[in-house]
């Protein structure tokens, strides 16, 4: 049975959670494969709005087992706050499984994040300061502490104490504040006890589910152009959101994956610093932000708006082997007289053959646009592709022509049922 991957194709905030929630109805397992509690996945169910940071988006279905995979770094206070909030609103998390191989985030990681970002001055990355990057760094340095370590309470406490003492020396040398080692050890001992029932051998669990012919959905956080290898480095995240990261972050093999859905907004946004060829400054940009409520789910920061960039999207198709695209937030463009789409880049008077491998060059390119007529009517009630305005269809057909894969889903509103699904 198929394993589907959902991946963002821009700089995040594409509406992945809505599509994951829609697809989860036909899947038995939804697994997060990378990132940490910097994800801001918003799901609207009826009149209820949920913002998820760690718990997979399929948690709202009774038949779905949500899994936090080995590629995720887990902040326990955030995880349990999220679980408690969901449970208080009638959403059970009793089926949640957390990989024994997933690494944990500790207060010293957040301290390192703050010191590092502060030291960069005007060249700040724009990190969320949640300790995610330093946690991944410790994983690579082979000094991290994993979720499975909580199974032995005595050993876990000693691991936390040893790391806290070692990090205290480093942080004070860097000018940071002292850690309260005893308090950290006690707090995480309690959190570790609470984590125990959720800890699972998720790698074998997922493979056993495949053997039972169950459908698996793998959920990425952030997006393609925030990928640590393929994004606009150094303005990137600390892991691999691309579809290839789904294998490393869950333990499933490449041949298990049969469907890769790329999520793209009908325009583009990014948070934080970094190059942005189709960025919109001024009145039109403000209009997108206001209508689309483009403020970070986790940070509240205003997102930088821009037109849809098909050079980026075509590159995302290549990097992820996308089988299809879900185009979200089409309704945000309902009142625009003209909708612009970037279809090429020029540099020093010459058109580039594709997406440049140098982020410095990306910051210098001149975008080439195709101007499409707006549809000047609401599409929120549309459920069949044939009922979309011809001008909206022209946008979708341009996307398909330029990037080479079909647009199979079109988001026309925030709720799970406000979507056009093409057969």
Residues 116 and 178 in one domain: yes
Residue 283 lies in a domain: yes
- What's the pLDDT tens digit per position in 315-326? 999 999 999 999
Backbone angles phi, psi at 3, to 5 degrees: -110, 125
- Spatial separation of the C-alpha atoms in residues 345 and 353, rounded to whole Å: 8
Q: What is the CATH classification number for the domain harbouring 388? A: 3.90.170.10
pLDDT at 45 over 90: no
Cα torsion 407, 413, 414, 415: sign: negative
pLDDT at 1 over 60: no
Residues, the chain, total?
423
75 catalytic residue (yes or no): no
- What's the pLDDT tens digit per position in 74-99? 999 999 999 999 999 999 999 999 99
Return the pLDDT at 68: 98
Q: How confident is the model at residue 122 (pLDDT cuts 50, 70, 90)?
A: low
Q: Which of 21, 27, 37, 41 is catalytic?
A: 41
41 catalytic residue (yes or no): yes
Q: How confident is the model at residue 125 (pLDDT cuts 50, 70, 90)?
A: low
Residues 6+ apart with CB under 8 A from 330: 266, 379, 392, 395, 410, 411, 412
Residues 6+ apart with CB under 8 A from 115: 171, 174, 175, 176
Residues 238 and 185 in one domain: no
| Beta strand 73-74 pairing with 48-52 | unpaired
- What's the pLDDT tens digit per position in 137-167? 999 999 999 999 999 999 999 999 999 999 9
Residue 201 lies in a domain: no
Residue 200 lies in a domain: no
Return the pLDDT at 39: 74
Residue 62 lies in a domain: yes
Among 195, 217, 234, the domain-final residue is 195
Structure tokens belonging to residue 12: 């995040």
Mean of per-residue pLDDT scores for the chain: 93
Residues 335 and 244 in one domain: no
How many domains does the chain divide into? 3
Check if the beta carbon of residue 224 is closer than 8 Å to that of residue 261: no
Check if the beta carbon of residue 38 is closer than 8 Å to that of residue 237: yes
Domain that includes residue 122, residue range: 103-195
Give the closest residue to 292 by CA, choosing from 76, 42, 58.
42
- What's the pLDDT tens digit per position in 162-188? 999 999 999 999 888 889 999 999 999
Residues 298 and 382 in one domain: yes
Residues 44 and 92 in one domain: yes
Residues 80 and 159 in one domain: no
Structure tokens belonging to residue 203: 């790698």
């Amino acid at each position: 049975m198929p394993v589907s991957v959902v991946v963002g194709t821009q700089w995040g905030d594409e509406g992945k959670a809505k599509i994951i929630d829609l697809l989860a109805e036909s899947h038995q397992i939804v697994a997060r494969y990378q990132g940490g509690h910097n994800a801001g996945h918003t799901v609207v169910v009826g009149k209820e709005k949920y913002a998820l940071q760690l718990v997979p988006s399929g948690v709202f279905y009774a038949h779905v087992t949500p899994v936090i995979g080995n590629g995720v770094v887990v902040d326990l206070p955030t995880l349990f706050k999220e679980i408690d909030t969901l449970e208080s609103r009638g959403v059970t998390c009793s089926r949640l499984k957390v990989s024994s191989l997933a690494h944990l985030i500790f207060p010293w990681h957040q301290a390192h994040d703050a010191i590092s970002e502060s030291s960069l001055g005007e060249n700040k990355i724009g990190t969320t300061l949640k300790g995610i990057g330093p946690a991944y760094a410790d994983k690579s340095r082979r000094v991290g502490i994993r979720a499975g370590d909580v199974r032995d309470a005595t050993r876990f406490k000693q691991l936390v104490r040893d790391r806290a003492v070692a990090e205290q020396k480093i942080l004070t040398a860097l000018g940071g504040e002292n850690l309260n080692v005893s308090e950290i050890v006690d707090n995480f001992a309690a959190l570790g006890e609470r984590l125990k029932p959720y800890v699972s051998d998720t790698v074998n669990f997922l493979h056993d589910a495949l053997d039972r012919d169950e459908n698996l959905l793998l959920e990425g956080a952030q997006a393609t152009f925030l990928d640590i290898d393929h994004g606009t480095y150094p303005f990137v995240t600390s892991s691999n959101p691309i579809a290839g990261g789904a294998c490393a972050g869950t333990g499933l093999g490449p041949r298990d994956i049969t469907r890769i859905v790329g999520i793209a907004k009908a325009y583009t946004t990014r948070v934080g610093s970094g190059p942005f060829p189709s960025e919109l400054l001024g009145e039109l940009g403000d209009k997108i932000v206001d209508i689309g409520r483009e403020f970070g789910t986790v940070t509240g920061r205003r997102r930088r708006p821009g037109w849809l960039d098909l050079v980026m999207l075509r590159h995302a198709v290549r990097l992820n082997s996308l089988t299809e695209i879900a185009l979200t937030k089409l309704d945000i463009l309902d009142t625009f007289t003209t909708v612009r789409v970037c279809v090429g880049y020029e540099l020093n008077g010459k058109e580039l053959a594709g997406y440049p491998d140098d982020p410095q060059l990306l910051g210098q390119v001149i975008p080439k646009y195709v101007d499409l007529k707006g549809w000047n009517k609401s599409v929120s009630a549309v459920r069949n592709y044939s009922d979309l305005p011809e001008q909206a269809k022209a946008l979708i057909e341009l996307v398909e022509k330029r990037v080479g894969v079909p647009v199979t889903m079109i988001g026309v509103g925030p709720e799970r049922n406000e979507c056009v699904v093409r057969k």
